[in-house]
């Protein structure tokens, strides 16, 4: 894989983001690895663009305002998107300044070091809070994670608890029941140290010595910015508040973390289950096979790998067979010209999409030019897949992502990329020879 390169500012505005519009641009300070390529993201019915980071400009998110849309309404949309992004990625994002204009130009700065970059972000999951409390909690979480100040970050995290559990007595009871459920290592360590110091009522301590002391300048105790011991204590206890805030958002407000989404891995089968229907899936899980003449609605699919060029051989694949056995459904797909077969198994009890690269993707060589091109592509697919490829399956007509499987990690197998590259080159050459003969 080629090394990532930070782009030049002059090279950013190309393609769709080079079109004149009424752009709102949020220039960001963030610890999040930022893309070096412009990335389009659909969220809550709007389109947002991640503008690449450069040595000359801030990382940014841009939004082209709708006709007649007020400026603050547009900025609020950007902020809500940033809060969802911050929650998914577990990193703080602070807006340094809003700018805008006919093009989404980020604000200039000079920064040669400390840039953390990635090719792109995997944003298949962005939370969509249905309530004002949920939206506010994510906003406070984004702010707290982005603040480089323990007192104000502590206060933001505590405000998340107040947002999730407005009643003070209920909040205290919830605290007592859930403080031991913090899972972050730093949060657990901070909690153990706090208990070892002799603090018995943890909820009362964090409220009075933290939240109340920060928010008020006259009551006792008070946080004195000139007292280094106060600063250090808040710094030490901050991971506890972070862990509690995250736990409250997920378990009180029902907004899942990315880790929970990964642990449940419902995304592997969700699109197929939606198309098959709850009744059929339930019967299969109960061990009841479909009736022989029962119609099963299966989509035409495009099979891709994240960060790999699309594969013509795996585009527009049509379902030709569905076999139910052992509470699972095996699906057989063929390319439109029937030269390529792709097989997957929907493992409903385990919520897994099963795919074995060494046997479940097969090309047939009929001596044609397309068959040779397909062979080159299938070897490229195998090379990219065993190199930690992330399988993505889209419905062909709508391009909706209906299934994805996390990056493949080979075990007891050494990938010979050079040999696969040689096969790819050999089949590409064979396609040229066949094309020349045909002409």
Q: What pLDDT digit, counting tens, does each position of 25-57 carry?
A: 999 999 999 999 999 999 999 999 999 999 999
- Highest-confidence segment of 176-185, 225-234, 253-262, 403-412: 253-262
With 70 as the cut, is the pLDDT of residue 219 above it?
no
Is the pLDDT assigned to residue 342 strictly greater than 90?
Answer: yes
Bridge-based pairing state of the strands 352-354 and 93-101: unpaired
As given in the structure block, the two tokens for residue 318 are: 């049509």
If 0-12 CB within 10 Å is exposed, 13-18 middle and 19+ buried, where does residue 327 land? middle
Q: Is the pLDDT of residue 59 over 60?
A: yes
pLDDT at 412: 80
Q: How buried is residue 393: exposed, middle or buried, by Cβ count under 10 Å (0-12/13-18/19+)?
A: buried
Token couple for 71: 């400026």
Sequence-distant (6+) residues with CB within 8 A of 149 are none
Give the angle subtended at the CA of 400 by the CAs of 89 and 135, to the nearest 5°.
Answer: 40
CA distance 147 to 144: 5
Phi and psi at residue 131, to the nearest 5°: -120, 160
Q: What is the arithmetic mean of pLDDT over 209-229?
A: 77
Calculate mean pLDDT across residues 154-177. Answer: 92
Q: What pLDDT does 221 receive?
A: 76
**Residue 429 has which token pair?**
């050459």
For 98, residues 6+ apart whose C-beta sits below 8 A from its C-beta are 24, 25, 26, 27, 75
pLDDT at 47: 97
Contact present, 389 and 407 (Cβ < 8 Å): yes
How far is Cα 107 from Cα 88, in angstroms, rounded to an integer? 25
Confidence check: pLDDT of 1 > 60: no
pLDDT number for residue 217 = 63
Q: Determine the Cα–Cα distance for residues 39 and 33; give it in Å rounded to an integer.
A: 13
Tell me how far apart the alpha carbons of residues 281 and 322 are, in angstroms, rounded to a whole number: 13
Secondary structure element (H or E) that encloses residue 423, with its range: helix 417-438
| Residue of 79 and 15 predicted with greater confidence | 79
pLDDT at 194: 87
Residue 213 is predicted with a pLDDT of 72
What average pLDDT does this structure show over 354-365? 96
Residue ranges of E strands in 233-314? 301-305
CA angle 66–30–193, rounded 5-degree value: 135
- The total of other beta-carbon atoms located within 10 Å of residue 185's CB is 10
**pLDDT of 334 strictly over 90:** yes
| Residue 218 banded pLDDT, cuts 50, 70, 90 | low
pLDDT of 432:
97
Q: Tell me the mean pLDDT in the region 174-200.
A: 88
Structure tokens belonging to residue 381: 């697919």
What whole-number distance in Å separates Cα of residue 267 and Cα of residue 259? 13
pLDDT band at 397, cuts 50/70/90?
Answer: very high
Q: What is the pLDDT of residues 70-96, one digit of tens each?
A: 999 999 999 999 999 999 999 999 999
- Write down the pLDDT at residue 382: 96
Q: Which two tokens stand for residue 151?
A: 């007192």
Question: Given this model, what pLDDT does residue 210 score?
Answer: 74
308, two tokens: 């790999």
* Cβ atoms of 382 and 290 closer than 8 Å: no
Those residues with Cβ within 8 angstroms of residue 178's Cβ, 6 or more apart along the chain or in another chain? 244, 247, 248, 251
Give just the sign of the alpha carbon dihedral 87, 16, 316, 305: negative
Identify the H or E element spanning 153: helix 150-164
Q: What percent of the chain has pLDDT over 70?
A: 99
Residue 295 makes CB contacts below 8 A (sequence gap 6+) with none
Q: What pTM value is reported for the model?
A: 0.89
pLDDT tens-digit series, residues 188-217: 998 889 888 888 888 888 877 777 778 776
């Amino acid at each position: 894989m080629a090394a990532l390169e930070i782009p030049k500012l002059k090279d950013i505005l190309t393609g769709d983001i080079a079109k004149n519009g009424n752009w709102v641009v949020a220039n960001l300070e963030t610890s999040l690895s930022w893309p070096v390529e412009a990335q389009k993201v659909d969220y809550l019915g709007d389109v947002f663009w991640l503008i690449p980071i450069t040595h000359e400009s801030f990382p940014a998110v841009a939004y082209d305002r709708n006709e007649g849309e007020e400026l603050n309404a547009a900025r609020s949309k950007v902020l809500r998107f940033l809060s969802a992004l911050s929650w998914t990625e577990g990193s703080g994002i602070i807006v340094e300044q809003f700018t805008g204009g006919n093009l989404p130009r980020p604000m200039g700065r000079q920064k040669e070091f400390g840039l953390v970059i990635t090719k792109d972000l995997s944003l298949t999951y962005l939370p969509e809070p249905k309530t004002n409390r949920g939206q506010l909690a994510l906003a406070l979480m984004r702010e707290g994670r982005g603040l480089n100040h323990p007192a104000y970050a502590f206060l933001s995290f505590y405000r998340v608890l107040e947002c999730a559990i407005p009643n003070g007595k209920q909040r205290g009871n919830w605290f007592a029941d859930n403080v031991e459920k913090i899972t972050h290592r730093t949060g657990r360590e901070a909690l153990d140290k706090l208990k070892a110091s002799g603090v018995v009522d943890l909820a009362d301590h964090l409220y009075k010595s933290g939240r109340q002391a920060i928010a008020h300048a006259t009551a006792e105790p008070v946080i004195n910015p000139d007292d280094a011991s106060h600063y250090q204590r808040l710094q030490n206890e901050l991971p506890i508040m972070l862990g509690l805030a995250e736990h409250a958002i997920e378990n009180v407000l029902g907004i899942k973390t990315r880790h929970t989404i990964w642990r449940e891995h419902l995304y592997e089968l969700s699109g197929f289950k939606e198309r098959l229907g709850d009744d059929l899936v339930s019967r299969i899980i109960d061990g009841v096979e479909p009736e022989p003449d029962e119609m099963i609605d299966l989509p035409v699919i495009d099979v891709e790998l994240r960060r790999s060029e699309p594969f013509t051989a795996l585009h527009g694949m049509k379902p030709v067979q569905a076999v139910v056995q052992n509470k699972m459904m095996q699906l057989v797909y063929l390319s439109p010209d029937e030269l390529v077969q792709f097989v997957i198994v929907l493992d409903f009890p385990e919520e897994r999409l099963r795919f074995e690269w060494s046997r479940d993707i097969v090309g047939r060589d009929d001596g044609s030019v397309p068959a040779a091109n397909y062979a080159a592509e299938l070897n490229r697919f195998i090379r990219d897949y065993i190199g930690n490829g992330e399988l993505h399956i889209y419905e062909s007509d709508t391009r909706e992502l209906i299934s994805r499987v996390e990056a493949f990690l080979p075990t007891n197998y050494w990938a010979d990329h050079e040999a696969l590259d040689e096969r790819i080159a050999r089949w590409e050459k064979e396609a040229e020879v066949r094309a020349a003969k045909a002409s």
